[in-house]
A and B are shown apart, each in its own frame.
Chain A
Amino acid sequence: MSALHIKKGSTSHSAYNLRPNFSDVQERHTIAVLVENEPGVLARVIGLFSGRGYNIESLTVAEVDHTGHLSRITIVTTGTPQVIEQIKAQLGRIIPVHEVHDLTVEGPAVERELAILKVVGDGDKRVEALRLADIFRANVVDSTLGSFIFEITGAPDKIDAFAELMRPLGLAEIARTGVAALLRGE
């Protein structure tokens, strides 16, 4: 035994450091997945993310080609470059998945999200909310004497910014659709 110089005892390295030769910078990617519109396909995609411990920042899905039975799922996710590669490869393994596109890599892409926000308040706050909504090109889609519902479309950070401004003005509820995205140009 000893002649073989087999090291014993502890090691300074963590056994959990599973990916030492991969970068650990977190990146945000928008991935478009074209899937057959069949029952359970969304569960497969979501199950993949939860089962393998990937992040979902937002996810939208709707049928985009009625005759071809195709739906488009847009997923915004974060992870190291290696995890992002894995996510795409794993998505590609799902049988009803036809295409996987990393819009962040293939881009530039246009990203849009729709949000509706209920702002409750009166007096100056109400006036200020309306003024800001105008600046952000948000529409009033419902109003009562004590509340507004604004509709706003834009990139997610624009919606974040608008929501942040509405918070002190009486933001009561917000509903967001998640990101829809398309590559620019032809």
Chain B
Amino acid sequence: MSKYKIKVLCIQVIAVLALLILWEIAAETGLINSFIFSSPSKIFTTLVDLLKSGELFNHILVTFKEVFVAFFIGTIIAFVISIIMYLNKFIADILDPFLTMLNSLPKVALGPIIIIWTGANQKSIIVMALLTNIIISIITIYNGFIHTDELKIKLFNTFKATKYQILTKLVIPANLSTIVSSLKINISLTFIGVIMGEFLVSKSGIGYIILYGTQVFNLNLVITGILILVLMSYVIYKLITVLERKYITND
């Protein structure tokens, strides 16, 4: 690690520690109401309790599973639809206004309908997450596809390349970095969708912990849940970054 990186890391650690210490002191001295704002020590105890009972692991697993299922299904569907749209401009032109409309619709508004259609179970959480991630993924990937360097397409045409060759040997490889950045957006949106879904229907998962904590007014539980979410999304984000470094050669 370079000196600069160590410096950055130190300041980050110090900032977090300072925040925790200030928070703890404020809660201890009664400056803030620890019943509403919780405190680091209470969060820690809650975390340990959850860990001991083995519940925490189960909740994390449930949420992760939902995120991964929705992420994979969403990515594959978005990828396939983008390819169909790229190969068939007619279909793309037909879909265009609907995609724009659906994209700006707040997906949470569909929650109640989803529950009625799919039942109050894990299925509706996945559907919720899919609705949240799929449209923007399609738009991002398709836009990348149609903005492939004209000159390179012309080059392929001079070699009498078929549309399929242009797709597999030019358009997809040229857009790998677009696809990866769409994966990044996709994963955070999937997370949002899953938590929204868990708020609406679930009996387990981190979203459920937060909702349950609010209902019984246990703010320690709520904030612990939020912290776990932050960590989970960071882990997933890092995973994608590692993938990106490994497989994307930059120009």
- Do A and B pair up? The answer is no
